[in-house]
Amino acid sequence: MIVLRRIGAAILAAAAIAIWFLMAPSEPQEPEVQTQEQVTDRDREIANALTDYELNEGRTQGAPQQTVVNGWVAKDLLAIIAEQQNEALTRDEVPPPAPLIVSDDERIPALIGLLVVGLALAMATSPRTSVSRDSSAPSEAIGERPLAQPA
Protein backbone atom coordinates (compact mmCIF):
# COMPACT_ATOMS: atom_id res chain seq x y z
CA MET A 1 0.00 0.00 0.00
CA ILE A 2 2.86 2.37 0.73
CA VAL A 3 4.15 1.97 -2.84
CA LEU A 4 0.70 2.76 -4.22
CA ARG A 5 0.52 5.87 -2.02
CA ARG A 6 3.92 7.10 -3.22
CA ILE A 7 3.08 6.50 -6.88
CA GLY A 8 -0.26 8.27 -6.42
CA ALA A 9 1.42 11.21 -4.66
CA ALA A 10 3.97 11.53 -7.48
CA ILE A 11 1.21 11.49 -10.10
CA LEU A 12 -0.79 14.10 -8.18
CA ALA A 13 2.29 16.33 -7.81
CA ALA A 14 3.02 16.09 -11.53
CA ALA A 15 -0.62 16.83 -12.33
CA ALA A 16 -0.59 19.86 -10.01
CA ILE A 17 2.54 21.27 -11.70
CA ALA A 18 1.06 20.63 -15.14
CA ILE A 19 -2.21 22.31 -14.18
CA TRP A 20 -0.43 25.34 -12.76
CA PHE A 21 1.65 26.00 -15.87
CA LEU A 22 -0.55 24.69 -18.69
CA MET A 23 -3.81 26.22 -17.51
CA ALA A 24 -2.37 29.68 -16.85
CA PRO A 25 -4.76 32.39 -18.10
CA SER A 26 -3.75 34.42 -21.11
CA GLU A 27 -2.76 38.04 -20.76
CA PRO A 28 -5.68 40.50 -21.06
CA GLN A 29 -5.93 42.29 -24.37
CA GLU A 30 -6.27 46.03 -24.43
CA PRO A 31 -9.21 47.22 -26.52
CA GLU A 32 -8.63 49.25 -29.63
CA VAL A 33 -9.18 52.91 -28.85
CA GLN A 34 -11.08 54.87 -31.48
CA THR A 35 -11.16 58.64 -31.58
CA GLN A 36 -14.16 60.62 -32.63
CA GLU A 37 -13.95 63.08 -35.48
CA GLN A 38 -13.68 66.69 -34.42
CA VAL A 39 -16.23 69.28 -35.45
CA THR A 40 -14.88 71.72 -38.03
CA ASP A 41 -13.49 74.92 -36.56
CA ARG A 42 -15.76 77.81 -37.56
CA ASP A 43 -13.76 80.71 -36.06
CA ARG A 44 -13.25 82.31 -39.46
CA GLU A 45 -16.96 82.25 -40.30
CA ILE A 46 -17.83 83.72 -36.90
CA ALA A 47 -15.21 86.46 -37.33
CA ASN A 48 -16.58 87.28 -40.82
CA ALA A 49 -20.14 87.52 -39.48
CA LEU A 50 -19.06 89.86 -36.67
CA THR A 51 -16.94 91.99 -39.05
CA ASP A 52 -19.93 92.36 -41.42
CA TYR A 53 -22.04 93.33 -38.42
CA GLU A 54 -19.62 96.08 -37.38
CA LEU A 55 -19.40 97.45 -40.95
CA ASN A 56 -23.18 97.43 -41.42
CA GLU A 57 -23.81 98.92 -37.98
CA GLY A 58 -21.50 101.82 -38.82
CA ARG A 59 -23.73 102.72 -41.80
CA THR A 60 -27.01 102.56 -39.93
CA GLN A 61 -29.09 105.62 -39.11
CA GLY A 62 -31.74 104.98 -36.53
CA ALA A 63 -33.22 102.12 -34.63
CA PRO A 64 -35.06 100.41 -37.52
CA GLN A 65 -31.83 99.98 -39.52
CA GLN A 66 -29.95 98.76 -36.42
CA THR A 67 -32.70 96.18 -35.86
CA VAL A 68 -32.27 94.93 -39.43
CA VAL A 69 -28.46 94.69 -39.04
CA ASN A 70 -28.89 92.85 -35.71
CA GLY A 71 -31.23 90.41 -37.44
CA TRP A 72 -28.66 89.81 -40.19
CA VAL A 73 -25.86 88.99 -37.74
CA ALA A 74 -28.21 86.80 -35.67
CA LYS A 75 -29.16 84.90 -38.85
CA ASP A 76 -25.50 84.44 -39.83
CA LEU A 77 -24.47 83.23 -36.35
CA LEU A 78 -27.47 80.88 -36.08
CA ALA A 79 -26.58 79.42 -39.49
CA ILE A 80 -23.05 78.69 -38.20
CA ILE A 81 -24.46 77.07 -35.04
CA ALA A 82 -26.87 74.96 -37.12
CA GLU A 83 -24.03 73.77 -39.37
CA GLN A 84 -21.96 72.78 -36.33
CA GLN A 85 -24.87 70.91 -34.78
CA ASN A 86 -25.68 69.12 -38.02
CA GLU A 87 -22.05 68.09 -38.47
CA ALA A 88 -21.85 66.84 -34.89
CA LEU A 89 -25.07 64.82 -35.21
CA THR A 90 -24.30 63.22 -38.58
CA ARG A 91 -20.78 61.99 -37.82
CA ASP A 92 -20.20 58.34 -37.01
CA GLU A 93 -20.68 57.50 -33.37
CA VAL A 94 -17.72 55.86 -31.69
CA PRO A 95 -18.53 53.44 -28.88
CA PRO A 96 -16.83 54.08 -25.55
CA PRO A 97 -13.68 52.05 -24.94
CA ALA A 98 -14.29 48.66 -23.40
CA PRO A 99 -12.57 47.73 -20.14
CA LEU A 100 -9.81 45.15 -20.11
CA ILE A 101 -11.15 41.65 -20.41
CA VAL A 102 -9.45 39.24 -18.04
CA SER A 103 -10.03 35.57 -18.65
CA ASP A 104 -11.09 33.39 -15.75
CA ASP A 105 -8.37 31.45 -13.96
CA GLU A 106 -9.46 27.82 -13.98
CA ARG A 107 -6.37 26.57 -12.12
CA ILE A 108 -7.77 26.92 -8.60
CA PRO A 109 -10.84 24.69 -9.20
CA ALA A 110 -8.63 22.13 -10.95
CA LEU A 111 -6.17 22.09 -8.05
CA ILE A 112 -9.05 21.68 -5.59
CA GLY A 113 -10.19 18.71 -7.67
CA LEU A 114 -6.70 17.22 -7.35
CA LEU A 115 -6.87 17.79 -3.60
CA VAL A 116 -10.10 15.80 -3.45
CA VAL A 117 -8.54 13.01 -5.52
CA GLY A 118 -5.51 13.03 -3.20
CA LEU A 119 -7.69 12.77 -0.11
CA ALA A 120 -9.62 9.91 -1.69
CA LEU A 121 -6.33 8.16 -2.52
CA ALA A 122 -5.11 8.62 1.04
CA MET A 123 -8.34 7.21 2.44
CA ALA A 124 -8.33 4.27 0.02
CA THR A 125 -4.73 3.30 0.73
CA SER A 126 -4.65 3.88 4.47
CA PRO A 127 -4.26 0.73 6.56
CA ARG A 128 -7.44 -0.52 8.13
CA THR A 129 -7.51 -1.54 11.77
CA SER A 130 -10.55 -3.32 13.00
CA VAL A 131 -10.86 -3.05 16.73
CA SER A 132 -13.83 -4.76 18.28
CA ARG A 133 -14.26 -4.18 21.99
CA ASP A 134 -16.28 -6.66 23.90
CA SER A 135 -17.86 -5.33 27.07
CA SER A 136 -16.97 -8.46 29.03
CA ALA A 137 -13.23 -8.46 28.32
CA PRO A 138 -12.06 -5.07 27.06
CA SER A 139 -8.37 -5.48 27.75
CA GLU A 140 -7.99 -9.00 26.33
CA ALA A 141 -9.53 -8.06 23.00
CA ILE A 142 -6.88 -5.48 22.29
CA GLY A 143 -4.00 -7.55 23.52
CA GLU A 144 -3.17 -5.51 26.59
CA ARG A 145 -2.37 -6.89 30.00
CA PRO A 146 -4.76 -6.08 32.81
CA LEU A 147 -3.47 -3.53 35.26
CA ALA A 148 -2.45 -4.87 38.65
CA GLN A 149 -4.65 -3.73 41.46
CA PRO A 150 -2.87 -2.46 44.57
CA ALA A 151 -3.37 -4.67 47.67
Q: What is the pLDDT of residues 17-71, one digit of tens each?
A: 999 999 888 776 666 666 767 778 889 999 999 999 999 888 889 999 999 999 9
Residue 3 has pLDDT above 80, yes or no: yes
Residue 132 has pLDDT above 70, yes or no: no
Angle between helices 107-125 and 2-22 (to 10 degrees): 180
pTM of the model: 0.40
The pLDDT mean for the chain works out to 82
Residue 80 has pLDDT above 90, yes or no: yes
Confidence band of 151 (pLDDT split at 50, 70, 90): low
pLDDT in the model for residue 76: 94
Query: Are the C-beta atoms of 143 and 26 separated by less than 8 Å?
Result: no
What does the pLDDT average to over 136-143? 53
pLDDT in the model for residue 101: 65
Share of the chain above pLDDT 70, in %: 74
Residue 5 has pLDDT above 70, yes or no: yes
The string of DSSP letters for 65-104 reads HHHHHHHHHHHHHHHHHHHHHHHHHHSPPPPPPPPPB---
